[in-house]
Structure 1
Amino acid sequence: MMKMVKSVQQFTMALVCLMVVGVSYAAPVLQPPEMEVRKITSELLDTFNNNKKQYQKDPEGFFKEVDRLLSPVVAFDQIARYVMGKYAHRSPEQVEKFESVFKGSLIRFYGKALLSLDDTSLVIESVDKTSPELLKKYQEGQTSRIPVRMKVRTSTNTVEIFYSMVHVDGRWKLRNVTIEGINIAKQFQSQFADAMKKHKKVSYVIDNWAAIMSASADGSSKK
């Protein structure tokens, strides 16, 4: 009887070991995020360069292309929560609604930033590689995002862009972007906070976000 129990225990331990080994072999290898950054940016710049005259006259057409290309690779939910700040903890329904509303403003901001860079060809000059040490820290949960620095060359200068990347839903996604020192997520967060100070109600700010952003852009252009 004791021999049978011991054999069962040994068999169970061997089975557990095989399962662990199987899981470790099945674990996907996490590729560095700069590959995704280069791919999506190349597609965006190719789209712009091939249609630049049309997009200068019709920016809305470019915004639609930016939306099509970026929607699968942007963590809109995470950015929207960050922009709402402390108000994101009040209602899941409001967060979900703002995510939908906010997506449009982010797409337009990013699209306008690209349109304003130059009216000639835009070319990727360089994309920094992620160090194995940083990627390991991310996989171990020691850091929540990985920055990827890119330089885009115009006809007159070089523009520096920092992408903040997270790995969700089985792929790398954009969590934030900083263009020439302008942190887009922080800028939107500041505008949301200012709108809350003025209007007091989260529902009002969400329902009128497009108008608030338009007024903010008009105010900035007049300065």
Structure 2
Amino acid sequence: MAGYIRSITAAIGAASLALSAFALAAAPDQIIRTATDAARADIAQNVATYQKDKAALYKMVDGTIVPHFDTTYIAKVILGAHIKDANAEQIGQFETAFKDMLIHTYADKMLEYYDGIEIEVKPARIDGKRANVDTVILRKDGKPPVPIVFSMREVDGDWKIWDIKAENISLVLNFRTQIDAEIKKTSIPAVIERLRNGQLVADGRGKSEAKSP
């Protein structure tokens, strides 16, 4: 089971890393499809460097991934009703901590499994300012394919990702459930600190896990 989750995590990481900078006016599926090819080529070319220098890997992911995610919106969705108890600084800190957690988790797994999958991107399903892009992760180990869905929203004319679903399990909504429980037990500042310390992570199936200090 652990290997299965790692494979899915790697798939999401590879697909997420695909979102390098180019014309955001393109259709949502075109954004993912074009960037996937470019990002996988980059990883293949620089894999030895990234294996030795994780900071370089994280910097690359931060520069290419974050502009395509609506991290402010994601942070507000995850905080849910608790957002009324947070000030602007805390919301920003939570957004940054969550973003960094995703970068480290998925970049590490993507690097580990970068050459073990192929990604099939299907035409976007657009409904006004919302869109879903279905992808299928084809694993070279012969195991069943894994469906991954990118949920996107139009923001000022640009398409931004706000959720990723693996086998219909939402990363954002499941992490919101985890964060809600953690905040009720402690506080928003305590949760931010645990995110920063790697004690709260979201796994590859869109679920989350609390780690002991």
TM-score, normalising length: structure 2: 0.70
Contact map agreement 2:116 2:141 (CA 8 A) in 1 = no
How many percent of aligned residue pairs carry the same amino acid? 26
Cα distance in 2 for residues equivalent to 1:51 and 1:181: 33
Where in structure 1 are there 5+ consecutive unaligned residues? 1-29, 140-144
Q: SS at the partner of 1:104?
A: helix
The yes-or-no answer on 1:209 pairing with 2:201 is no
**8 Å contact kept, 2:86–2:188:** no
Over the residues paired in the alignment, what is the CA RMSD in angstroms? 2.8
Q: How does 1:4-83 map to 2 (within 5 A)?
A: 31-83=26-78
User: Do the aligned residues in 2 keep the contact of 1:83 with 1:186 (CA within 8 Å)?
Assistant: yes
Residue 127 of structure 1 corresponds to: 121
Cα shift readout 1:166-220 (whole Å, capped 9, x = no counterpart): 1113211111112355532133213312321321x22222244222326x4656x
Structure number with higher relative contact order (C-alpha < 8 Å, ≥ 6 residues apart): 2
Q: Which structure has the greater CA radius of gyration?
A: 1
Once residues 38 and 105 of structure 2 are traced to their aligned partners in structure 1, the CA distance between those partners, rounded to angstroms, is 18
TM-score, normalised to structure 1, is 0.67
* Contact 1:32/1:130 (8 A) holds in 2: yes
Amino acid of the structure 2 residue aligned with 1:192: I
Change (3 A) 1:163 1:119: closer
Q: Secondary structure at the match of 1:51?
A: helix
Partner of 1:189: 176
Among candidates 151, 159, 162, match of residue 136 of structure 2 = 151
Q: Which amino acid aligns with 2:196?
A: A
**Conserved 8 A contact 2:165-2:171:** yes
Number of equivalenced pairs: 178
